[in-house]
């Protein structure tokens, strides 16, 4: 027992099993070794250990990492509390008593906080890369669909015509905000906790600035008490995963709807769909449904850890061991979902002509007609009422705007003239948009070019 000097008996085997985190915090092994090497380098630099001892420790740590990566060594969860004790025990086995000097001036409290920050920094960068790849896929699809008409919705009712490219670019914007959140997370782990000790620093002349430099942090943390109990950065990471999964879930919902026979808008590749155990004809969008379903689990991870944190007194408490499972699970779920939805969209086929004729017969250009009246100095509320009455008239006559005549328009307002009928031309509807950020094909193409240049 590494930490049992004041105890007469070993930890109860059931208690060890209950309290061991090794089966999940083994993920931190590489970060633990990275932090330990930097700590050993610092201890040698301030003459707490000799260079020979440092070299022995570093060689031993690198050997452990190699054996782990090549699957030659895997610590038994029934023997160790966590990855830190497993690595140190293995180091004792490899280099003898010199291994005992590695923990000088360090507590598991500042050690684990540092490991987690290193892991989150790496994982945030990986997610950032996956988000960029998904954005590129959406841009590639958008490039060929700036004129592909689809209905835009509010309240899940047809509202105004847009293009498929415009719709997909909305998700490009969302993904960019997701990237910004993970960049914030990376910024929040720029201060190094090592040297904080258990909660009150050390009487040893530790060089915390050197440790920061070796590990790529900008500066040491400013308060040891806060350093070992701070898990805000994990909450930030979990929150970023929650919002990111929410965006993927919204898109997945649309993919599920688009792939139905009623919509007939998207055909998913067979490699990302499944069949039915009973019905031979079925082709189910299971990957999209699973992403939608797994979102709840990621939400749950955030709530679970927020509940753990809400009443912890300063500083470190063993409750904080519960930070790792929700953290690692949210990361793997979100990163896997990003890869799946990217590949699913990249291999999908869109029915570009699905809505071309259908939209010509609905009332989604009613707002354009009201805007035409506004340009004739009709107050918008009056214009809204006039066009609303027109829609009601056509519905009662079982007609649509495709059959509209000038007499139909003039029956409700003499302000209408022949030019007003052009407002009901679906083929030119998008080109008439004048504001930036609209589905005007020229504006959409410009936005696609902007994103492509930004994502190079």
The answer to whether residue 157 is domain-embedded is no
349/237 same-domain check? yes
Residue 37: predicted pLDDT: 98
Residue 389 lies in a domain: yes
The secondary structure of 30-71, three-state, reads HHHHHHHHHHHHHHHHCCCCCHHHHHHHHHHHHHHHHHHHCC
Long-range contacts of 266-269 (CB under 8 A, 24+ apart): 266/348, 266/349, 266/350, 266/351, 267/348, 267/349, 267/350, 267/351, 268/344, 268/347, 268/348, 269/344, 269/347, 269/348, 269/349
328: nearest Cα among 362, 346, 305? 305
- Residue 425 belongs to a domain with what CATH number? 1.10.40.30
Looking at the DSSP bridge assignments, the partners of residue 274 are 284
Question: Among all residues, which ones are annotated catalytic?
Answer: 155, 276
Query: Domain check: are 42 and 68 in the same one?
Result: yes
Same domain, 124 and 96: no
Q: What is the DSSP letter of 437?
A: T
* 324 and 277 fall within a common domain: yes
Whole-model pTM over 0.75:
yes
Residues 381 and 262 in one domain: no
Half-sphere exposure of 409 (CA within 13 A, CB side): 23
CB atoms within 10 A of CB 59: 12
Q: Is residue 150 within 8 Å of 159, Cβ to Cβ?
A: no
Report the chain (456 residues): mean pLDDT per 10 consecutive residues. Answer: 61 80 95 98 98 98 97 91 95 98 97 98 98 98 97 97 98 98 98 98 98 98 98 98 98 98 96 94 96 98 98 96 97 98 98 94 94 97 97 95 95 96 95 96 98 95
Q: What CA–CA distance (Å, rounded) separates 399 from 321?
A: 66
Burial (CB count <10 Å: 0-12, 13-18, 19+), residue 381: exposed
Does one domain contain both 78 and 114?
Answer: no
CA-CA-CA-CA torsion sign (50, 54, 55, 60): positive
pLDDT at 126: 98
Token couple for 349? 């086929």
Beta pairing partners, 84? none
**Same-domain pairing of 387 and 441:** yes
Query: β-strand 266-267 against 219-220: which pairing, if any?
Result: unpaired
pLDDT at 8: 67
Cα–Cα distance measured from residue 113 to residue 121, given in angstroms and rounded to the nearest whole number: 12
**Exposure b/e, 145-173, CB count within 10 A at least 16 = b:** bbbbbbbbeeeeebebbbbbbbbbbebbe
Domain that holds residue 251: 109-149+163-204+219-353
What's the pLDDT score for residue 397?
95
Residue 401: strand, helix, or coil: helix
141 assigned to some structural domain: yes
The confidence score (pLDDT) of residue 6 equals 61
Rounded CA separation 300/284 (Å): 26
How open is the CA angle 407-409-415, to the nearest 5 degrees?
A: 105
Q: Are 138 and 351 in contact (CB under 8 A)?
A: no
Domain count, the chain: 3
Q: What are phi and psi of 51, to 5 degrees?
A: -60, -35
Domain CATH number, residue 294: 1.20.200.10
| Residue of 172, 217, 209, 154 whose CA lies nearest to 364 | 154
């Amino acid at each position: 027992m590494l930490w049992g000097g004041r105890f007469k008996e070993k930890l109860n085997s059931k208690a060890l099993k209950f309290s061991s985190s090794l089966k999940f915090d083994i993920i931190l092994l590489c970060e633990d070794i990275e932090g330990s090497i930097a700590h050993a380098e610092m201890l040698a630099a301030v003459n707490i250990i000799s260079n020979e001892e440092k070299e022995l420790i570093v060689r031993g740590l690198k050997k452990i990492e190699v054996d782990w990566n090549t699957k030659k060594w895997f610590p038994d969860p029934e023997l160790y509390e966590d990855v830190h004790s497993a690595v140190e025990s293995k180091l004792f086995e490899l280099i003898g008593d010199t291994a005992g000097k590695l923990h000088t001036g360090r507590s598991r409290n500042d050690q684990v906080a540092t490991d987690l920050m290193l892991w989150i920094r790496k994982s945030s960068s990986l997610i950032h890369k996956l988000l960029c790849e998904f954005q590129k896929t959406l841009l590639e699809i958008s490039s060929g669909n700036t004129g592909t008409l689809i209905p835009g919705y509010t309240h899940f009712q047809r509202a105004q015509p847009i293009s498929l490219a415009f719709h997909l670019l909305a998700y490009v914007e969302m993904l960019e905000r997701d990237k910004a959140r993970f960049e914030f997370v990376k910024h929040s782990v720029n201060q190094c906790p090592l040297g904080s000790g258990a909660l009150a620093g050390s009487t040893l002349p530790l060089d915390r600035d050197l440790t920061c430099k070796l590990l790529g942090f900008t500066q040491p943390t400013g308060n040891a008490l806060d350093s070992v109990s701070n898990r805000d950065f994990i909450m930030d990471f979990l929150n970023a995963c929650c919002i990111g999964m929410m965006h993927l879930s919204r898109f997945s919902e649309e993919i599920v709807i688009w792939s139905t026979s009623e919509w007939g808008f998207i055909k998913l590749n067979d490699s990302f769909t499944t069949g039915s155990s009973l019905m031979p004809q079925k082709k189910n969008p299971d990957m999209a449904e699973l992403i939608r379903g797994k979102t709840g689990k990621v939400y749950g991870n955030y709530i679970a850890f927020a509940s753990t944190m809400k009443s912890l007194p300063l500083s470190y408490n063993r409750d904080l061991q519960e930070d790792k499972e929700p953290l690692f699970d949210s990361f793997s779920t979100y990163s896997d979902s990003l890869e799946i939805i990217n590949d699913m969209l990249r291999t999908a086929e869109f029915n570009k002509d699905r809505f071309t004729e259908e939209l010509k017969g609905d009332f989604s250009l009613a707002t354009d007609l009201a805007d035409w009246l506004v340009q004739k100095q009709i107050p918008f509320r009056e214009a809204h009422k006039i066009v609303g009455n027109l829609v009601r008239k056509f519905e009662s006559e079982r007609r649509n705007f495709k059959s509209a005549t000038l007499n139909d328009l003039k029956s409700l307002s003499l302000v209408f003239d022949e030019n007003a009928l052009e407002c009901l031309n679906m083929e030119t509807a998008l080109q008439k948009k004048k504001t930036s950020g609209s589905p005007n094909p020229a504006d959409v193409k410009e936005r696609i070019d902007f994103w492509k240049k930004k994502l190079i």
